Chains A and B, each alone.
Chain A
Amino acid sequence: MEITNYLGLAAILFAIGAATVLLRRNAIVVFMGVELMLNATNLAFVTFARIHGDVTGQVLAFFVMVVAAAEVVVGLAIIITIFRSRRSASVDDVNLLHS
């Protein structure tokens, strides 16, 4: 199988994730979009590791997974806190920075 197809898949996954982040209002779904983008990056890393024949890309993929796991913990905690205080998980309701 052509190796660049993996990169194409990674790009498609990244685009889907970005579109989810930009277009959806539900915080959980936005969060899932972020995860999708991270995984698209992971796929690209692994693909490049394969192309170059060394393990640097795979190591980086592990790093991303670890950081993503930690980020999910913190992010879900924030979302739950917001939901508890505002009875809503919509990202558009959280605009206190605006004026």
Chain B
Amino acid sequence: MTMQTLSLAPWLVATPMIGAAVLLLGGRRTDRWGHWLGVLASAATFVVGLVMLLDMLGTPAEERVAVHTVGTWIDSGPLHVDLGFQVDPLSLTFVMLVTFVGTLIHVYSVAYMDHDVDRRRFFGYLNLFVAAMLLLVLADSYLLLFVGWEGVGLASFLLIGFWDGRRENAVAGKKAFVMNRVGDMGLIVAMMLLLATFGSVSFADVLPAAGEGATAAGQATMTAIGLMLLLAACGKSAQLPLQAWLGDAMAGPTPVSALIHAATMVTAGVYLLVRSGPLLEAAPDAQLVVAIVGALTLLFGAVVGTAKDDIKKALAASTMSQIGYMMLAAGLGPVGYAFAIFHLLTHGFFKAGLFLGAGSVMHAMDDDVNMRRFGGLARLLPVTAITMGLGWLAILGVPPFSGFFSKDKIIEAAFVGEGWRPWVFGVTALLGAGITAYYMSRLFFMTFMGRRRWSDGGPGDDGAPVRHPHESPRLMTWPMIVLAVGSVGLGGVLAVGDRFVTWLEPVTGHAEHHEPVLPVWLLITLTLVLVALGILLAFRQFAMAAVPVTPPRANVLVRAARVDLHQDDVNEALVMRPGQYLTRALVYTDRAAVDGGWLGLAGGIGRLGARLRRLQNGYVRSYAATMLGGLGIVALVVWALAS
């Protein structure tokens, strides 16, 4: 990297931040052109990132990791933190994903939010979101990363609750914020442990020393650090047990969902874990927990996805499941890091495309999200149907679409290892692929195929809502087309000759190639067979047969999946209620013991004073008697002491 391009790094954060500042501080004056300024800020950031990327491609692999230090941030005794930007293949990958997909979503939002009076504020928040995410991935220390981390949390809170006129939207924003705080505690504790163990929080000091730290500080400390980082990642990436906010986050405008699920926010947890790879390798127990959490969430999200009738919530469940794949890969060690990021990249494209497509469908169907009232839309929304179809094939992992190259590699990596692990993780990943195929096909068929379950206002459609579906304006379809192209080609282009894996090697290290416990051709065949089965099953149920407009009574598992496998009930029973009881008990103790004690003391002294006051009755004779009594007591004491 040349110094000139390296010094551009702060502008990656500053550009969208300036956009956000102008839009949010400028007020109503910027209403007329504010959305275009937002698009411009995002696009300019992408250009800056592109310049850096081209420069990095021209430098040899061993010189690609660089830190641009702006100055000292905190200098307090033994604690010294620099304000620096980490520029390497991993952070630049994120920069490109965030700015490219982010810019497309900005463009889409110009049309999607056209009729919203608060469009300017919306773009301000979008820019803030992008800026925070870029700060997160470009930070050269955990502390600076934490600033971006909190910024992302704030922006997501503002955007999820954007339409806060409705109570449930505001509640959803608050839920996301509060659940993220739980994860943030993990990151804070991890930073404290890092400071105590390594005396620093910068990547350059901590990561190379991770191996020695394990011998110096003991295995338990390293495991604690790993688990705390995992907790942080679970909060941001909506993994078990902090997954419940993701479905409710669909309350935000659809472009926000696309941004949260594809480019920013949920990918932050995967980034954190891959970046902290050496720390996790020094703590094999924590690493195993990461993989287990990933595998569980993968299945959890997939099962929930099969039962959701809300198109956005089905997509949200699918995100949870796909991020589970990435976490699983990150928990597999060096063999999985590159594939986690690879899947994250391709997922960013097809999930953004799917969400923007869902927004387009909602746009056409008067903001209805119930897929049971969709159907037969392919003919009326051709561009949306085709772009979403390509995204659908990509997420399924059908060759030669993007998802095939990234997801299949994760499944292969999951089958690498010894003992029970490859069988458990591998089979989970395989199963997940099959279920993914089922629920994504269900979503696609219910929306675009089959008979229409809405009315066009003509006779014979009793009871069905009247809709007038129309294709979205070009400002919305073009970003979808671009993302669809990415969904189709990106995976293949980057997979040729392990191009992407080699590109990430300066950060993730070179992973020795290991053979899976089953031959690769068999794994690919098995995956494809499961995917084909999933599609066929969904086709029979939701394209051939008529889809009932009211959810039919189903078995226990489906009913549980419809309410997110009772995630909210579990949270309420395990955390919320005990917390409330604890708070109430503490309030009661405070009132009864602490307040009561002091009030009692004060009251006692008051009553004593009232008693003593009666002695002061104003009669000279009683004062004289008191004096005489006192004299008598003094005389008695003197007499007793003398004798």
Contact = CB atoms under 8 A, between A and B. Distances in A.
Given A18-B628, A22-B628, A96 B621 contact: no
Interface stretch (A1-9, A40-48, A59-67, A87-95): A87-95
Interface in A12-26: 18, 21-23
Interface string A56-99: 00000000000000000000000000000000000110111111
Contacts of B616: 97-98
B521 interface: no
Given A23-B621, A30-B621, 13 more contacts: A21-B621, A22-B621, A22-B624, A30-B620, A91-B620, A91-B621, A92-B619, A92-B621, A95-B619, A97-B618, A98-B616, A98-B617, A98-B618
A54 B625 CA distance: 34
Interface of B: 616-621, 624-625, 628
B624 A96 contact: no
Contacts of B621: 21-23, 30, 91-92
A91 B628 contact: no
Interface residues of A, number: 13
Nearest to A97: B618
10 contacts: A18-B628, A21-B624, A22-B624, A22-B628, A91-B619, A94-B620, A96-B618, A98-B616, A98-B618, A99-B618
A18 B616 CA distance: 20
A95 B617 contact: yes
A21 B623 CA distance: 11
A97 B618 CA distance: 5
A23 B624 CA distance: 10
A97 B628 CA distance: 20
A98 B623 CA distance: 12
B628 A98 contact: no
Contacts of B625: 22
A95 B619 CA distance: 5
Nearest to B628: A18
Contacts of A95: 617-619
Contacts of A96: 618
Contacts of B620: 30, 91, 94
A42 to B, nearest CB: 18
Contacts of B619: 91-92, 95, 98
* 6 pairs of A and B residues whose beta carbons are closest in the complex: A98-B618, A95-B618, A97-B618, A98-B617, A91-B620, A21-B624
Nearest to B631: A18
A22 B626 CA distance: 10
Contacts of A98: 616-619
B284 to A, nearest CB: 82
A36 to B, nearest CB: 14
A95 B622 CA distance: 11
A1 to B, nearest CB: 26
Nearest to A94: B620
A98 B617 CA distance: 5
A91 B622 CA distance: 11
A23 B621 CA distance: 8
Interface string A20-39: 01110000001000000000
A35 to B, nearest CB: 14
A37 to B, nearest CB: 10
B229 to A, nearest CB: 72
Contacts of A92: 619, 621
A51 to B, nearest CB: 17
A19 to B, nearest CB: 10
A83 to B, nearest CB: 15
Nearest to A95: B618
A67 to B, nearest CB: 18
Nearest to A18: B628
A94 B622 CA distance: 12
Contacts of A99: 618
Nearest to A91: B620
A99 B619 CA distance: 11
Nearest to B621: A22
Contacts of A21: 621, 624
A30 B621 CA distance: 9
Contacts of A97: 616, 618
A22 B617 CA distance: 15
B604 to A, nearest CB: 23
Nearest to B617: A98
B241 to A, nearest CB: 68
A44 to B, nearest CB: 14
B425 to A, nearest CB: 87
